[in-house]
Amino acid sequence: MDRREAITQVSWILGGTIVGSGVFLETGCKTNTQQAADFFNVETIALLNEMGETILPATSTPGAKEAKVGEFMAVMVKDCYTTKDQGIFRQGIKRLEKKCKDETDKSFMECTAEERTKFFVKMDALQKAYMAEKTTEQPSHYFRMVKELTLLGFFTSEVGSTKALRYIESPGRYDGNLPYKKGDRMWANS
């Protein structure tokens, strides 16, 4: 199974809730990492990796940065988002940087892990309030896009599927009675 198939399956599982999912479910994403790197510069991709790592930090399992979620976000936004959603995402990253600078007197990249986490807790509260009041005509919040893409990128990556989740390569047989103990990792879709 390639990454596009995995993303499509995750989108169906999530009920197509990921921003832009309708586009890539209907047409499929044409991934081109070089074009995405042209769309987002190297510094922005590094920033997206650090944002992803703040959302999913390395613990006993690898973090989002090891799964290269920054590159994944760049490809997804470039190839799968509508022009309107691309603009919201790109402007949102700039707004996030400005807001971080206003609150901490540092850029996001200059902040410590604790400062980043504290800042993201505030950003998450803002996006939740926005989403609670949002009408169907209003766009999604840019921070929500970052969170969704981080989760999607991590859990559909090889790192996320094999080191954070349990993984059995398909095709295989269906076994509805696989043993599960409390604390076991969840199974990855394959």
pLDDT higher than 80, residue 11 = no
Which residues, at least 6 apart from 77, have a Cβ–Cβ distance to it below 8 Å?
A: 36, 39, 40, 85, 86, 89, 90, 145, 149
Per-residue confidence at 23, pLDDT binned at 50, 70, 90?
A: very low
Tell me which of 138 and 39 has the higher pLDDT.
138
pLDDT of residue 5: 56
pLDDT higher than 80, residue 113 = yes
Residue 42: count of CB within 10 angstroms of its CB: 9
Q: What is the mean pLDDT of the chain?
A: 82
Question: What residue segments make up the domains of the chain, in order of their start?
Answer: 3-164
Under DSSP, the state recorded for 169 is P
Which residues, at least 6 apart from 140, have a Cβ–Cβ distance to it below 8 Å?
A: 19, 85, 88, 131, 134
31: left (phi over 0), alpha (psi -120 to 50) or beta: beta
Q: What is the 3-state composition of the chain as percent helix, strand, coil, each rounded to the nearest 5?
A: 60, 0, 35
Tell me which of 51 and 39 has the higher pLDDT.
51
pLDDT higher than 80, residue 13 = no
